[in-house]
């Protein structure tokens, strides 16, 4: 049976208009490799670098890993759809100058498709005046000279593909900001009406606890609300577009169900669960009259909407007094949030007509919620940021060395919440660490460097790396490998992991 993740062999996929009719990678010359269990892991920190993670890297030619399916089938399919989207835009243009310019972008996408399907070597990024070019080219020159899409670590090769996709447009005259995934992102939110209104009808009215309750009862009510909304925020991540490509509206609805009973049932799928510790952490913030909480965002549309519902609650309950949201500067891993997606969400909630079948009360609840969020922005209680580092190939082990300004900035936060699978892969170096590895060990300097903030990772599991499952985690993972072979990519399981960091210590850079 085909799962939603299974796009089938490349030769069976529908041809993308404008793209090659058939995408086949020739891998015969590459060894099929299982992780090297003989070497001693983890590597000592001085021997760790982007091509040599602390535990074995996942690489595209590792047929046992999701890296292989992604590099061989998913990325060419995603690129084919991007070409399709751009061709649609091209066909709607009238100005000759713009048409010619966009046709060149499509040609460059064709070249990228050839490189990807022919497993070309990774070349430097063309200088398009983006602030990340130097970081990309330094990393390629230092660690990936002569490497190709399949033998470079998966994380780097996949990020590189999205950077090359951006380059197809960034060097153009008229289309430098074009987002090939924008249509898809808007469309999926508009098809999420049930869950969208379930939340807006509940949370449009500002959060208030009855004055008749005792102090203990109030705290308990708040704790329950916190746990529920943390789960809403967590499971909002199971609906990213790169994996939803084949899902029906019904399947999306089932994934997005947010009811209380549903959440109680899904808590057992949180395999590494620091939710109780997370509550203790945020409670302390209120004693300091509210803290600063940062969200390193993942996906636009419904997930971002869930993040905002959660952030709204943190503010209203006094657990935080400022929220800083970190998004991407350009289209990234299909569904990640850009500034345009952020603005679109807030504006469509207040002014849009996205949901023709909604009742007046439902539309009003959405408008009220959106208006409140826009007001937070005006008052500086919500701040949207987009540091160039988030769209590089570096993992977050290198954040303090490659983006010291960003590290310093985050070190001033009381809690940094990383959303989603890709951020989790970057936190953990995307390597084959045992599932029992403590989260604080797996994230290296993000936990141990002086000034490292408290970090929470809210991630539904959609790729190979799994850590933080506790002392018996290896057995849990082995059992799931036997009983549910696709458990690491289904999005059915999740982790909520917390690192205490070393806040309050002076940050020093070498």
- Under the rule (CB under 6 A), what is the footprint of ligand F6P? 70, 74, 158, 237, 240, 242-243, 298-299, 333, 335, 420-422, 425, 462-463
Q: In terms of Cα–Cα distance, which of 224, 320, 318, 236 is closest to 276?
A: 224
CB closer to ligand F6P out of 172 and 338: 338
**Which residue in the block uniquely carries the two structure tokens 């059992």?**
479
Q: Which of 70, 299, 437, 463 binds Mg ion (CB under 5 A)?
A: 299
Question: Coil, helix or strand for 499?
Answer: strand
**Residues 160 and 152 sit within 8 Å (Cβ to Cβ):** yes
Stretch that binds Mg ion, among 117-125, 169-177, 299-307, 318-326 (CB under 5 A): 299-307
CB closer to Mg ion out of 83 and 300: 300
Question: Could you say whether residue 181 binds Mg ion (CB under 5 A)?
Answer: no
Q: What is the DSSP string of 50-78?
A: TTB-SSPBPBTT-TTSHHHHIIIIIHHHH
Produce one character per residue of 168-187: b if its CB has 16 or more CB atoms within 10 Å, e if not. bbbbbebbbbbbbbbebbbe
Q: In terms of Cα–Cα distance, which of 167, 130, 137, 157 is closest to 76?
A: 157
Query: What region does 126 belong to: left with phi over 0, alpha with psi -120 to 50, or beta?
Result: beta
Closest contact distance (angstroms) between CB of 303 and ligand F6P is 8
CB closer to ligand F6P out of 102 and 466: 466
| Residues 336-365 as x/- pattern, contact with Mg ion by CB under 5 A | x-----------------------------
Closest contact distance (angstroms) between CB of 422 and ligand F6P is 3
Contacts 24+ apart (CB under 8 A), 257-266: 257/195, 258/195, 258/198, 258/199, 258/232, 259/198, 260/228, 263/228, 263/231, 263/232, 263/235, 266/231, 266/235, 266/494
Per CB under 5 A, contacts with Mg ion among 321-340 are 333, 336
CB closer to ligand F6P out of 72 and 119: 72
In eight-state DSSP terms, residue 320 is: E
Q: Alpha-carbon distance 373 to 350, whole Å?
A: 10
CB closer to ligand F6P out of 196 and 243: 243
Stretch that binds Mg ion, among 15-23, 240-248, 356-364, 369-377 (CB under 5 A): 240-248
Closest contact distance (angstroms) between CB of 299 and ligand F6P is 5
CB closer to ligand F6P out of 282 and 297: 297
CB closer to ligand F6P out of 134 and 254: 254
Q: Alpha-carbon distance 149 to 66, whole Å?
A: 14
CB closer to ligand F6P out of 317 and 457: 457
CA atoms within 13 A on the CB side of 487: 17
CA atoms within 13 A on the CB side of 195: 30
Q: What is the DSSP string of 105-144?
A: HHHHHHHHHHHHHTTPBPPPPP--S-TTHHHHHHHHHHH-
Closest contact distance (angstroms) between CB of 74 and ligand F6P is 6
163 interacts with, out of Mg ion, ligand F6P, none, CB within 5 to 8 A per kind: none
Q: Alpha-carbon distance 454 to 456, whole Å?
A: 7
463 interacts with, out of ligand F6P, Mg ion, none, CB within 5 to 8 A per kind: ligand F6P
Closest contact distance (angstroms) between CB of 212 and ligand F6P is 42
Closest contact distance (angstroms) between CB of 66 and ligand F6P is 7
Closest contact distance (angstroms) between CB of 59 and ligand F6P is 14
CB closer to ligand F6P out of 301 and 420: 420
Burial class (CB in 10 A: 0-12, 13-18, 19+), 12: exposed
**Residues 258 and 201 sit within 8 Å (Cβ to Cβ):** no
Question: Coil, helix or strand for 210?
Answer: coil
Closest contact distance (angstroms) between CB of 420 and ligand F6P is 3
313 interacts with, out of Mg ion, ligand F6P, none, CB within 5 to 8 A per kind: none
CB closer to Mg ion out of 400 and 419: 419
**Residues 231 and 456 sit within 8 Å (Cβ to Cβ):** no
Per CB under 5 A, contacts with Mg ion among 9-48 are none
| Strand ordering across the sheet containing 320-326 | 270-273, 494-499, 455-460, 415-419, 291-296, 320-326, 382-385
Closest contact distance (angstroms) between CB of 154 and ligand F6P is 8
Q: What are the phi and psi torsion angles at 172 (to 5°)? A: -85, 170
462 interacts with, out of Mg ion, ligand F6P, none, CB within 5 to 8 A per kind: ligand F6P
Measure Cα distances from 98 to 84, 105, 494 in Å.
Answer: 17, 11, 45
132 interacts with, out of ligand F6P, Mg ion, none, CB within 5 to 8 A per kind: none
Stretch that binds Mg ion, among 158-166, 225-233, 237-245, 477-485 (CB under 5 A): 237-245
CB closer to Mg ion out of 140 and 232: 232
436 interacts with, out of Mg ion, ligand F6P, none, CB within 5 to 8 A per kind: none
Question: Could you say whether residue 298 binds Mg ion (CB under 5 A)?
Answer: yes
Closest contact distance (angstroms) between CB of 436 and ligand F6P is 21
Closest contact distance (angstroms) between CB of 95 and ligand F6P is 35
Question: Coil, helix or strand for 293?
Answer: strand
CB closer to Mg ion out of 294 and 298: 298
Q: In terms of Cα–Cα distance, which of 303, 100, 256, 78 is closest to 181?
A: 78
Contacts to Mg ion by CB under 5 A: 240, 298-299, 333, 336
């Amino acid at each position: 049976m085909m799962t939603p993740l299974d796009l089938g062999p490349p030769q069976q996929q529908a041809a993308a208009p404008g793209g090659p009719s058939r995408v086949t990678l020739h891998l015969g010359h590459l060894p099929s490799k299982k992780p090297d269990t003989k070497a001693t892991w983890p590597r000592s920190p001085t021997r760790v670098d982007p091509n040599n993670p602390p535990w074995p890297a996942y690489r595209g030619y590792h047929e046992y890993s999701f890296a292989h399916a992604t590099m061989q089938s998913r990325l060419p399919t995603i690129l084919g759809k991007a070409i399709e989207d751009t061709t649609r835009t091209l066909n709607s243009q009238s100005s000759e100058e713009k048409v010619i310019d966009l046709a060149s972008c499509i040609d460059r996408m064709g070249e990228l498709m050839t490189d990807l399907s022919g497993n070309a070597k990774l070349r430097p990024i063309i200088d398009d005046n983006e602030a990340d070019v130097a970081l990309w080219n330094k990393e390629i020159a230092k660690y990936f000279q002569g490497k190709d899409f399949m033998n470079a670590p998966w994380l780097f090769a996949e990020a590189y593909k999205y950077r090359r996709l951006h380059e197809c447009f960034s060097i153009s005259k008229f289309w430098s900001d074009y987002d090939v995934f924008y249509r898809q992102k808007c469309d999926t939110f508009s098809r999420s009406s049930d869950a969208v209104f379930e939340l807006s009808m509940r949370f449009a009215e500002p959060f208030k606890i009855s004055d008749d309750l005792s102090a203990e009862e109030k705290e308990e009510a708040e704790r329950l609300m916190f746990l529920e909304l943390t789960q809403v925020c967590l499971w909002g991540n199971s609906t990213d577009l790169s994996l939803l490509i084949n899902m029906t509206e019904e399947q999306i609805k089932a994934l997005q169900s947010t009811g209380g009973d549903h959440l109680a049932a899904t808590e057992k799928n949180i395999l590494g669960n620091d939710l109780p510790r997370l509550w203790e952490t945020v409670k302390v913030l209120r004693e300091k009259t509210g803290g600063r909480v940062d969200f390193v965002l993942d996906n636009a549309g419904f997930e971002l909407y869930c993040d905002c519902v959660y952030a709204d609650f943190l503010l209203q309950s006094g657990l935080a007094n400022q929220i800083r949201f970190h998004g991407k500067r350009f289209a990234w891993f299909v569904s990640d949030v850009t500034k345009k997606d952020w603005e679109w969400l807030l504006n469509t909630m207040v002014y849009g007509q996205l949901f023709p079948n909604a009742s007046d009360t439902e539309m009003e609840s959405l408008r009220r919620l959106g208006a409140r969020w826009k007001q937070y922005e005006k008052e500086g209680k919500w701040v949207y940021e987009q540091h160039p580092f988030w769209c590089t190939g570096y993992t977050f082990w290198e954040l303090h060395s490659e983006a010291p300004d960003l590290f310093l900035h985050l070190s001033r936060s009381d809690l940094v919440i990383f959303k989603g699978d890709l951020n989790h892969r970057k936190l953990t170096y995307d390597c084959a660490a045992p599932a029992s590895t403590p989260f604080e060990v797996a994230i290296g300097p993000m936990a141990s460097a002086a000034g490292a903030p408290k970090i929470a990772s809210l991630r539904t599991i959609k790729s190979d790396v799994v850590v933080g499952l506790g002392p018996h985690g290896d057995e849990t993972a082995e059992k799931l490998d036997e009983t549910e072979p696709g458990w690491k990519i289904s999005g059915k399981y999740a982790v909520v992991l917390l690192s205490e960091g070393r806040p309050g210590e002076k940050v020093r850079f070498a």
